[in-house]
Structure 1
């Protein structure tokens, strides 16, 4: 059924075209969330204000158009998809207000959960919910799903830490429970609705059997159905309404702000892994731990441990555990080290009576802690990594009463065996009786769907009927448990949920078939295909964890969406369908605007670097092999050509003036489709060629200085207050620290190969890399001397296969922190400094070290929020400037208090200077300015 013409006409007047998507590529890309369902929306709208949401809902109500809201789309049960209108959050939903020294925080729904905690960290506080996806999921989804997590339990979820909420109902009416004027208006206009809620509350509390059932259900972790506990917990209809929105999954209204009562984030913590001989002993230990000072207790069955036992860093004993072994990963937190140690003694005393097969004692070492928790965190991706291509990974989420946990675990394992889910693993938040089980499932045949249906029917009977547990503890009901809500709750409670739904959404336009559905087969429909596309990305489970760090997300496609589209293209080709149109759109949306930085791989549970696929596709289209070979062979000439181009551009600036040149070059860049680079005020001037000077023999320690080709060609811009070149500044700093600086021979011809690799010319790239390694071996006397590379992307490329060379290679951060700190005296400057941690610096593991160095050099350091990659991506800042502009669209506002920024990549600094409105320089400029040679 197509969308009404009047609805589309009104939307076109309100929402700009660049925030409306109805083309096949975009609707398919947005039709995917982290669940195993797919619906293709007819229209996707990116909203930037509450006023837009209100208007959209009023028109949707008028015309009977179903709408679905989406924040990050990391939900696992099909809550964030639609075959009608999908409303997604844009950039302008990131507001926050911290109150009372962090005791409360008011957040808009577009804030990522981890960012909220970063804002609260200086106060020693955090929000209560701590879902595993907190690095990617947003507050809107956390509230709408009543998410919890490993340490949250039931006491600290959104429902129990809610201090206020701002919402929009299906008819477009607004309510802010923290605003007296808003409350007054709402009471006047919606008195009947509030009275009906109050009446339902009184009736529910008076129904002693139903009220007791509700209280019992929420003694456990439970997100199945609507939040009926609000009817027994509150008598004020405004409180009932606000808490009903929590866990409603977008079926009752839109959440435009929420205020949390925050919780203490205790700084001292320790973890232990204790393996018991069997499930029964393990679960009995959980019962004892309920009364102990623990913050998290994670259960891992033998299958989960087996799934990660061969991973690097895993304790060797994991491979040799008995078949029935079951482990607990225990964490305790305290306000002080001494109190923590008291707590650990109490915990170990309580567990002393239990038989233990193996254990790793409590450790406070952060590295060891991270290693232990990696066992738990790697279990889910471990199943995803070994699944058969074409199948999906399903993670289910149930709760047993803790006192029946052992029986429940064994019964679930028996169901795995009965339905032949041999790869299934089981783990979970044991203190709450909350278990996750992960299995792989194909939906390509009727037999596979029937197997899944039979399994889920058995799980529902086991958990909800036999044990009186929850079918959804924290992942939300979605559409995959909607048919089982009545089975779990009973008819009376189920009908009460429908009354609430129809009261708040009488026309049923809000997220239909989610939480409540009249279709008993809804969980078996709209199943998402995961066809083979390329071995580089076939393991993708489409969770969306990659999206927050992608510079092109919101401009074109995110890594998840690139994989979705490429999978669809390959499936269509196999089916004999013409893909020319979608491939033409994907060339720009997917390939051309991918920065290929690899940050997505750092966030991906299965380690997928979507940029690798895009570079592979670029190499497929790389048809100028002879040109690439000529450039590789005549690199010194090519470098002179770059200098000449910069010289011409600089001359044009002096002749035409900067404003006219910027306007003219922007037009030429558009007309040439990026072939002519766009000139900006940050465009470098040409750098003089570095002259080779043979090393002399003296008492100073030697360092080989590799000046990257970009720093050899690009001097500071004419507008830059700092006119000393990076080469001169670096050499000056190294000599100040007492080093003899050695320059490799034939430097003008040398290159790490990155410019060739990024264009898809892998052979030429590898040739240049090997040539450079040979020159560096010679200059460093066979690897005897350290090698300083002034640009972090080049360093990263050279160290990618560390075992193949004897080179002692350093990027600026690592060299300064390991070789210069004891040779220089630092006097930090008063002027604030902005820091950009490049993608390559992050890959090198030096991100925090760069920030720490900046803090050694300046009393105030600004790290802009939400900017993980600048999007300059080698030369894309020149050829695809919109990618750089999009990635840095919030930079100027973030660094307004600074007069200078630092980084470790010359090309990144060009884009940062342009879009930040301040000069960005290499780290050495700052270090040189604030240091003096230490007297010996």
Structure 2
């Protein structure tokens, strides 16, 4: 229940915002208010905003009521700067516009664009943005700028501060300013002259104090995100330049950033990496110091504990487990414009460090798949430690920088502090070229003694870094809450007073993200600690980093995987704490829809998770917990009578098709919508792309020397084309035609009408019934393939993926894999003269088939469109019939990307239903395209 003035604030927000973008319920405020840090504040109100005008009006409301507001992008922040116990404003999908101009020398980006997406836009131009944080596939431009995030390669030369051209911002009073627009600057100079004059006066005061000016210059010779970007005051004379550069790294405490223009940097086409191994930390640091100045683009240091945490991961070089206890590694990258230049640079690197004895000769690889694995493992070091922590504890990452000449001593001192305070599983890694070290350790915040241990450790660390080495307490992760208390310790009284002046000038009433960067509470870093109750083995490893979120189809509808875990942890906490029954029931009921019903359970989250947590599998388990005796009995009955069930479904499709012919699309849609809503979503939602019943296959394949077992999935057996698809051919006919051209004789498994992989049951949480169907199918396929001698083709990739997961010893293929391996050398392909769309299913993505599928499609069509940011269609088997809003949310941007396309292709019939509906072009199996574009290869 809201407490005044928040109830009034909610009413005022709803006066200009849709109800579905203002949240006050317990589940969503908790889930939406959680970030990747180890702090927790639960907002009273969460607001999703899609435009600058909305931000201005939101600021008017919070100003009128004098309540704090925090702006949030992706929430991957690690230091507690993206949370609030007041009003939290999230960036919606309206903040994703961009513009490339000046021959790609510049890119204009709105704050809701994910960092790696910006680089995709620039890739055709051979450019990228400067910042390259490890979270670049998840974090957004707004957070990258607001935190001055850097990364493994950009250092201090190509971060947001150094590559900023201009920005558009909104002050706390609602005034917009575009620093790249002369008219906007002139208007601002008239309305807010006091800010510009204040900044000029600060600059004059600093320059008149040589000691302070020199301290600022010195502090930013290494990475530093502690406090505000005071270097703006000494680096620039123009107050507009000072203003916009102060916004970089300000963590939403000075203004809202609504647009940024970057000067782009070159993305070199040729790269090579090596995992160099040294006998100790000091040798590795000597090598990193020697390689500064351009010899390498990046040098990531990893101590022995770091190496041990990843040495068994796929793709890592052999022999890491045999390294000594003091060993240390450098993961270096070399970049060049040409292959020859790359080899010369590799030779130069080896020459530079030839006198530093390695544990073995340095081996570079220029194969993207190989060095990509090394860098992916490096990016996952932080979550990897979190994944192996004891349940109920949290994982903490701190981020410091030393002058490069002190890097080795600083690293060794950190290790000594670990030993002193009993953090025996801590690891150290980081960006050695910049003297930037991250150290990760697990912490229990459930006991006061453990909190006291953490406090003592942090006091020692901050004293060592700030006083002994004059380093940075925060190098790139931002000050946030956990270092706000130590800003004055690092900077000193005069610089700290200057920061307070900056805050007062921009935000005199302290409404913007209070408690972040500047905090008067000396124990703020020890308060509001995030509880992590033991919940379930499948999700206890989650550190709530948010890396999973960009690929989740329900991310704009209800919850993401991270948020599902956050909410379930709260359910577990409520149970363990014995909360009131009414509270638990209300939260649980919300979770049943937000957490369970609208989860596609596609498992793509596991592909992005650094520790491979598949939240979809957990949700299937959650569904299983909710099934009673009668539900299980019904599931068992349908599994035992699969043939009858499929026949009934086909009959229902015939009836629905006949009704559509009689009533027409509009009336049929209205009737179906009413029945669906009136039944509480129990009656599946018919739509205009609903398939008709499939007709029996007619074609036969010749008897030749090549044989293949063909298993048409149960979906393909009973779902034919939709009414508006001009091609009424069944998928089995197209598959048989294609196989015949390649000279294959088809073998069918026995009793095929009753066979199924079990996915329809397993996805609903009927695990036992699904596994029984899979075992039945496995027996039939083993018999048909002569014990695995013959290849087995299934036309539906989700079914094939499930089969591959559980069936061993059989040669199992879906259409793309089979075509690449068995048909490419037997068929000729002539591209059809059409622009076509391609949807790579979640199952195909998990099998690594996205690139092969696109390459195959481009052999068969004049132009192929692969829509951006459509990772899963959200139809989720038959869930799209019961919860069509999930499919709609996942595909809301599909239609605008299909301009000129006349047909789309995929490898799952149910996915194709939703794709056809929202793409407004018929989608069908890629086998149709392969068959149309191919003919038998002539014998030479």
Contact 2:315 2:374 in 1 (8 A): no
Confirm whether residue 657 of structure 1 aligns to residue 657 of structure 2. Answer: no
Cα pair 1:692 1:747 within 8 Å, conserved: no
1-side partners of 2:477 and 2:18: how far apart?
34
Instruction: Select which of 679, 685, 703 maps to 1:678.
Output: 685
Counterpart among 835, 838, 841 of residue 838 in structure 1: 841
Tell whether the 8 Å contact from 1:425 to 1:437 is kept in structure 2 after alignment: yes
Give 5+ residue unaligned stretches, structure 2.
Answer: none
Within 5 Å, give how 1:364-379 maps onto structure 2: 364-379=366-381
Partner of 1:645: 652
Residue of structure 2 in register with 1:590 after alignment: 595
Aligned to 1:707: 712
Q: Please report how far the alpha carbon of residue 374 of structure 1 lies from its aligned counterpart in structure 2 after TM superposition.
A: 4.3
User: Is the contact made by 2:699 and 2:736 (CA closer than 8 Å) also made in structure 1?
Assistant: no
Contact kept, 8 Å, 1:110 with 1:138, in 2: the verdict is yes
Query: Is 1:414 the equivalent of 2:416?
Result: yes
Q: Which residue of 1 aligns with 2:790?
A: 785
Cα shift at 1:311: 3.0
Q: How far did residue 4 of structure 1 move?
A: 5.0
Is 2:721 the partner of 1:721?
A: no
Moved over 6 A (4+): none
Give the alignment's Cα RMSD to 1 decimal. 1.4
CA distance in 1, matches of 2:598, 2:468: 53
* Bigger mean CA deviation after superposition, 213-222 or 323-332: 323-332
Of 745-754 and 364-373, the range deviating more from structure 2: 364-373
CA distance in 2, matches of 1:562, 1:378: 21
- Compared with structure 1, are the counterparts of its residues 586 and 375 closer, same or farther at alpha carbon in structure 2 (3 Å cutoff)? closer
> Is contact 2:704-2:743 (8 Å) kept?
no
Q: Secondary structure at the match of 2:342?
A: helix
Paired residues for 1:226-625 under 5 Å: 226-577=228-579, 578=581, 579-623=584-628, 624-625=631-632
Residue 897 of structure 1 deviates from its aligned partner by 2.5
Q: 1:757 corresponds to which residue?
A: 762
Instruction: Determine whether 1:817 maps to 2:824.
Output: no
Residue of structure 2 in register with 1:900 after alignment: 903
User: Shift of the alpha carbon at 1:838?
Assistant: 0.4
1:772 aligned to which of 760, 772, 777: 777
- Which stretch shifts more, 92-101 or 925-934? 925-934
> For residues 862-888 of structure 1, what are the alpha-carbon distances to aligned partners after superposition, in whole Å with 9 as ceiling and x for unaligned?
111111110000001101111001111
Whether the aligned pair in 2 keeps the contact of 1:305 and 1:375 (CA below 8 Å) is no
1:126 alignment counterpart: 128
How many Å apart are 1:591 and its aligned residue? 0.7
Counterpart position of 1:34: 36
Name the CA distance, whole Å, in 1 between partners of 2:149 and 2:573.
Answer: 35
Whole-angstrom distance in 2 between the partners of 1:378 and 1:56 = 37
Counterpart for residue 871 of structure 2: 868
Report the Cα distance in structure 1 between the residues aligned to 2:361 and 2:397, rounded to whole angstroms: 28
Matches within 5 A, 1:99-178: 99-178=101-180
Helix, strand or coil for the counterpart of 1:414?
A: helix
Q: Following TM superposition, by how much is the alpha carbon of 1:682 offset from its aligned partner in structure 2, in angstroms?
A: 0.5
What is the CA distance between 1:690 and its match in structure 2?
4.8
* Separation in 2, partners of 1:290, 1:780: 59
Q: CA deviation at 1:166?
A: 0.4
What TM-score does the superposition give when structure 1 sets the normalisation length? Answer: 0.98
Say which SS state the counterpart of residue 300 (structure 1) adopts: strand
In the alignment, the residues of structure 2 paired with residue 561 and residue 793 of structure 1 have an alpha-carbon distance, to the nearest angstrom, of 25
* Cα distance between partner residues in 1 of 2:253 and 2:512: 5
Alignment deviations for residues 880-936 of structure 1 (CA, whole Å, 9 cap, x no partner): 111001111111111123111111111000000000111111111112222222111
- C-alpha distance in 2, partners of 1:35/1:640? 53
Q: Report deviation, 1:753.
A: 0.4
Q: Distance in 1 between matches of 2:473 and 2:658?
A: 70
Does the residue aligned with 2:529 lie in a helix, a strand or coil? coil
CA-to-aligned-CA distance 1:746-772 (integer Å, 9 cap, x gap): 111100000010111111111111111
C-alpha displacement of 1:633: 1.5
Contact conserved, 2:894 with 2:919, CA < 8 A, in 1? yes
**1:884 equivalent among 884, 887, 893:** 887
Q: Distance in 1 between matches of 2:14 and 2:665?
A: 37
2:694 to 655, 662, 687: 687
CA distance in 1, matches of 2:293, 2:559: 48
Q: 1:64-98, CA deviations, whole angstroms, 9 ceiling, x for partnerless residues?
A: 11000000000000011000000001111000001
Corresponding residue for residue 189 of structure 1: 191
Alpha-carbon distance in structure 1 between the residues aligned to 2:252 and 2:856: 45
Post-superposition Cα deviations, 1:390-411, rounded to whole Å, max 9, x if no partner, equal 1011111000000011100100
Which deviations, in whole Å up to 9, do the C-alpha atoms of 1:297-329 show, x marking residues without a partner?
Answer: 010111111222233443332112111111111
Moved more, 614-623 or 138-147: 614-623
The SS at the match of 1:705 is strand
CA distance in 2, matches of 1:620, 1:375: 35
Distance in 2 of aligned mates of 1:287 and 1:573:
53
CA distance in 2, matches of 1:10, 1:572: 32
Residue 292 of structure 1 contacts residue 347 of structure 1 at CA under 8 Å; is this kept in 2? Answer: no
Residues 272-311 of structure 1: CA distance to partner in whole angstroms, max 9, x if unpaired? 1111112222211111111352000010111111222233
Q: 3-state SS of the aligned residue for 1:243?
A: helix
Secondary structure of 2:805 counterpart: coil
> SS of 2:721's equivalent?
strand
Following the alignment from structure 1 to structure 2, what is the Cα–Cα distance between the partners of residues 635 and 226? 65
Q: In structure 1, which of residues 915, 920, 930 is the aligned counterpart of residue 918 of structure 2?
A: 915
Q: TM-score, normalised by structure 2?
A: 0.98
Deviations 1:409-468 (A, max 9, x none): 100000000110000000110000000000000110111111111111111101111101
2:781 aligned counterpart, secondary structure: helix
Contact kept, 8 Å, 1:125 with 1:262, in 2: the verdict is yes
Secondary structure of 1:258's counterpart equals strand
| Equivalent-residue separation in structure 1 for 2:633 and 2:424 (angstroms) | 53
- The 2-side partners of 1:286 and 1:629 are apart by 63
Task: Give distance in 1, aligned partners of 2:455 and 2:759.
Answer: 50
Q: Is the 8 A contact 1:477 1:515 kept in 2?
A: yes
| Stretch of structure 1 that moved more, 867-876 or 735-744 | 735-744
- SS across alignment from 1:799: helix
1:837: Cα distance to partner? 0.8
Matched position secondary structure for 2:833 = coil
